[in-house]
Amino acid sequence: GAVVSQHPSRVICKSGTSVKIECRSLDFQATTMFWYRQFPKQSLMLMATSNEGSKATYEQGVEKDKFLINHASLTLSTLTVTSAHPEDSSFYICSARDARGGSDTQYFGPGTRLTVL
Amino acid sequence: GNSVTQMEGPVTLSEEAFLTINCTYTATGYPSLFWYVQYPGEGLQLLLKATKADDKGSNKGFEATYRKETTSFHLEKGSVQVSDSAVYFCALSDRWEGFQKLVFGTGTRLLVSP
């Protein structure tokens, strides 16, 4: 299967600072990537859909000015949590859409655990 | 709208027991169906998928059959191992949304004891 990486895997920051999380598709090009948030023992909540070369599409209730998404290339999308607060602490997971050969499957990164003090 | 319903966990089994995790869905179009597995502290891994009715997805001893008549995609394994302990997510992707968005169930935690 395809490989998606995330960096960093863990980050601890002070309240009010900004944190950037990178998502990379390592062996395929992904025109579409997705950002999810997962709370403890809960399912994944889609935050936004990131399309290469265009603005991200945010789900209802997700603040686009707080969660900045940039899909700079076909293999890289970044999520920046601006002015982070303790309630932003969560597990953030990205996925990349692999549409090669008509398969259309999302492959997920290993996740980034953000802790805001 | 589209939705996925999974059985609540945790499911607790002894090693070599038979596993079934139920999953039913509601979709307006013609969805593809997926099972993902999440091991502790990790992201999701695609376990298996089926793209049309009557397709059977299989991987690592796990199987699931796309049943359109019952709108179900139950996950089964004949003999579980301790290493199968994880959270399992059923999900669908709907053609009418360009196969892009995944809708997840709430996840079912499986605990396998030796």
Tens of pLDDT, residues A34-60: 999 988 777 888 999 998 888 899 999
Cα separation, B38 vs B45, in Å, equals 6
B21-50 mean pLDDT: 91
Closest residue to A108, CB basis, from B41, B43, B105:
B43
Is A43's CB within 8 Å of B106's CB?
yes
A62-82 mean pLDDT: 94
Tokens coding A39: 């709370």
Q: Which of A97-106, B6-15, B43-52 has the lowest mean pLDDT?
A: A97-106
Closest residue to A111, CB basis, from B42, B89, B101:
B42
Is B43's CB within 8 Å of A6's CB?
yes
Predicted confidence band of residue B75 (pLDDT cuts 50, 70, 90): very high
pLDDT of res. A66: 96
Residues of A in contact with B101 (CB under 8 A): 34, 46, 49
CB contacts under 8 A, A 87-116 vs B, are 93, 95, 97, 104-111
pLDDT of res. A89: 95
The residue of B104, B109, B111 whose CB has the most chain A CBs within 10 angstroms, and thus the best one to mutate to test that interface, is B104
First vs last Cα of chain A: how many Å apart?
A: 37
DSSP 8-state code for residue B78: S
Residues of B in contact with A49 (CB under 8 A): 100-101
Is B93's CB within 8 Å of A104's CB?
yes
pLDDT averaged over chain B?
A: 92
Residue A1 above 90 pLDDT? no
Q: What angle do CA A63, A33, B1 make, to 5 degrees?
A: 70
Predicted confidence band of residue B96 (pLDDT cuts 50, 70, 90): low
Question: Which amino acid, one-letter code, is at B80?
Answer: V
Residue A32 above 80 pLDDT? yes
Is B44's CB within 8 Å of A44's CB?
yes
Predicted confidence band of residue A67 (pLDDT cuts 50, 70, 90): very high
Percentage above 70 pLDDT, chain B = 95
| Interface A:B, Cβ pairs < 8 A | 46
Residue B99 above 80 pLDDT? no
Predicted confidence band of residue A15 (pLDDT cuts 50, 70, 90): very high
| Coil, helix or strand at residue A101 | helix
Residues of B in contact with A107 (CB under 8 A): 46
CB contacts under 8 A, A 44-63 vs B, are 44, 46, 49
Residue A101 above 80 pLDDT? no
Residues of B in contact with A48 (CB under 8 A): none
Which stretches does DSSP call E strand in chain A?
A: 4-7, 10-13, 19-25, 32-38, 44-51, 57-58, 67-73, 76-81, 90-98, 105-108, 112-116
